Amino acid sequence: MVQRISSHFNASFAALADATRRGVLDQLARGDASISQLADRFEMTLTGMKKHVGVLERAGLVTTEKLGRVRTCRIGPCRLEEEMAWIARYRHVWDARFAALDGVIDELKRQEKARGRRKGK
């Protein structure tokens, strides 16, 4: 179980780590596109785009279908729900840490202000 989740997360996060692949997902969110169209849009070779699409496909973020000589790409079935839940857990941790830091800063400002009033008397 842990290995499967780790492997799935690694594939998802690896796919999303690249700006071009995130751009491909943004493009496919607007509508299906062929690998040729994507390659033109991102000014790269067909081979390069095929590699990017392959990474996205292995992560379940994109599906492809070949009709004749054209391979059409579309958004895949992976909804990133588990990944979003994982990120949300860490967001709560960081939100709590920043809230605590805000409290410390507010207290230091109050102390500094109080010292300034005492010196001014």
pLDDT in tens, 94-109: 999 999 999 999 999 9
Average pLDDT, the chain: 90
| CATH placement of domain 2-75 | 1.10.10.10
Beta bridge partners of 66: 71
- CA gap 60, 80 in Å, rounded: 9
pLDDT score recorded for residue 2: 47
Mean per-residue pLDDT, 50-78: 95
Q: Where are the domains of the chain?
A: 2-75, 80-121
pLDDT tens, residue by residue, 9-54: 889 999 999 999 999 999 999 999 999 999 999 999 999 999 999 9
Give all strands of the β-sheet with 70-75 in edge-to-edge order.
33-34, 70-75, 62-67
State the burial class of residue 8 (Cβ atoms within 10 Å of its Cβ: 0-12, 13-18, 19+).
Answer: middle
